[in-house]
Amino acid sequence: MKRRSFISKIAIAGSLPTLIPKSLFAQDKASPLIDGPVAVCTWNFEKANATAGQALLEGKDALTAAILAAQVEEENEDNSTVGFGGTPDRDGKVTLDACVMDHNGNCGAVLAVENVVHVAALARDVMEKTPHVMLAGKGAEKFARSLDYPETQLLTPKTKKAWEKWKKEALFQPIINIENHDTIGVLCRDKAGNISGACSTSGLGYKMNGRIGDSPIIGSGLYIDNEIGGAVATGMGEEVVKTVGSFLIVELMRQGKTPQEACDEAIKRILKKQAGKPNFQVAYIALDKKGNVGARSIHQGFSYMHFNNNINQNIKVEPI
Ligand code: ASP
């Protein structure tokens, strides 16, 4: 995927800024109170974030808006790291991971699911329609079929060709570069001031069959505490899991750090265990209850989308 750095502004007609009552905020820091719905998502997924922003302005709840954003990329064949057209594992199977978390602390996740495009919505169904939090593999797929999710071959001619090329020189340990990662992680704050989020990915390209990263793991790829805020991760999932990155960020915000300070600290925790700058990317975005946003990455090249006040813009992130 080509990353362009751009600023795009979209005007959404007929929407009014919404005032979030100050009493909703547990934190009483000097950071400003941002009015109106806020949506942020990883990378330059402009249309996805605009979709979330529009949904929030129409009065949809934060979880619904976050899932609608994830669906844009799940359906996007040109995005080779999420949903349909995602990069397969080394056996040629496209296996998807996703999770969601709402403002009540409810969560749901699906792991290593094949033949289903809308895995963030499926994670919501796990949360709302089963007594469980996580469903994996064939069980998750069976659950999707019971709810009439269409059966879709996720491997496209393009990704099949790329996999066949990769196989010729396949290394047991793939060389990680930052272009292997482009999970969509979305955080939304709705008109009621509630925060929810969603995360969806096909995971690390050419991973071992059965490998699970951070993205469907609550606390790693995504965490929400509606009193405080939320965080999402993208990049080398193994490193995010080792530090329970998204939970860590929310807890740091609870202790009084700003979203930016919390993201910085979470990246530093990863780097502490490395000798020098590692050959992998990890990036975080955090959103607090007041609507303030922070983000940090290990390497150059990460950006995120930010929607507020009818403006959807791409923000380039300075690496640590
Ligand atoms: N975090 C994802 C994983 O490790 C990959 C990514 O963000 O692209 O599965």
Does the pLDDT of residue 6 top 80, yes or no? no
Pairing of strands 96-101, 107-113: antiparallel
pLDDT over 80 (residue 179): no
Model pTM above 0.75 = yes
Pairwise CA distance, residues 106 & 319, whole Å: 32
Q: State how beta strands 222-225 and 184-189 pair.
A: unpaired
**pLDDT at site 257:** 97
204 CB under 6 A from ligand 1? yes
What the chain holds in terms of domains, given with CATH numbers, is 36-316 (3.60.20.30)
Residue 175 tokens, joined: 């060389």
Atom of ligand 1 nearest to the CA of 81: 8
Residue nearest to atom 8 of ligand 1 (CA): 181
Residues 6+ apart with CB under 8 A from 276: none
- Confidence (pLDDT) at 174: 53
Judge whether residue 17 has pLDDT over 70.
Answer: no
With a CB cutoff of 8 Å and minimum separation 6, the contacts of 99 are 107, 108, 109, 110, 120, 123, 198, 199, 215, 216, 217, 218, 221, 222
Which parts of the chain fold into alpha helices (H)? 46-57, 62-75, 119-129, 137-146, 157-168, 237-243, 245-254, 259-272
**pLDDT 10s digits, 289-300:** 999 999 999 999
Q: Is the dihedral of CA 260, 183, 51, 251 positive or negative?
A: negative
Three-state secondary structure string covering 160-188: HHHHHHHHHCCCCCCCCCHHHCCCEEEEE
Residue 279 clears pLDDT 80, i.e. is over it: yes
| pLDDT for the residue numbered 24 | 38
Query: Quick check: 276 pLDDT over 90?
Result: no
236 vs 8: which has the higher pLDDT: 236
How far, in Å, CA of 12 to CA of 312, rounded?
10
- Check pocket membership of 54 for ligand 1, CB cut-off 6 A: no
Q: How far is the CA of 82 from the centre of ligand 1 (A)?
A: 9
79, 99, 181, 207: which to mutate for ligand 1, most atoms within 8 A of CB?
181
Provide the Cα torsion 320, 181, 10, 38; round to 10°: -60
- Rounded CA separation 181/172 (Å): 18
Determine if ligand 1 sits within 6 Å of the CB of residue 83.
no
Whether the predicted pLDDT of 13 surpasses 50 = no
The sheet that has 107-113: what strands, in order across it?
134-136, 107-113, 96-101, 195-201, 184-189, 38-42, 303-308, 311-316
**pLDDT at residue number 181:** 62
Active-site positions read: 183
pLDDT exceeds cutoff 90 at 281: yes
State the average pLDDT over residues 72-93. 95
C-beta 42 within 6 A of ligand 1? no
pLDDT tens, residue by residue, 46-76: 999 999 999 999 999 999 999 999 999 999 9
Identify the pLDDT of residue 30: 56
Which two three-digit tokens encode residue 143?
Answer: 């659950």
Report whether residue 76 contacts ligand 1, using a CB cutoff of 6 Å. no
Which secondary-structure segment (H or E) carries 284? strand 282-288
- pLDDT bin (cut points 50, 70, 90) of residue 145 is very high
Q: Which of 229, 227, 197, 228 is nearest to 215 (CA)?
A: 197
Q: What ligand 1 atom has the least distance to the C-alpha of 181?
A: 8
Residue 23: its pLDDT value, please? Answer: 36
Using an 8 Å Cβ cutoff, are 114 and 154 in contact? yes
Tell me the CA–centroid distance for residue 16 and ligand 1, in Å: 36
**For position 4, what pLDDT does the model report?**
36
CA distance 68 to 99: 13
- Nearest ligand 1 atom to the CA of 207 is 9
> Which is the closest atom of ligand 1 to the Cα of 212?
9
Q: Identify the residue with better confidence: 90 or 12.
A: 90
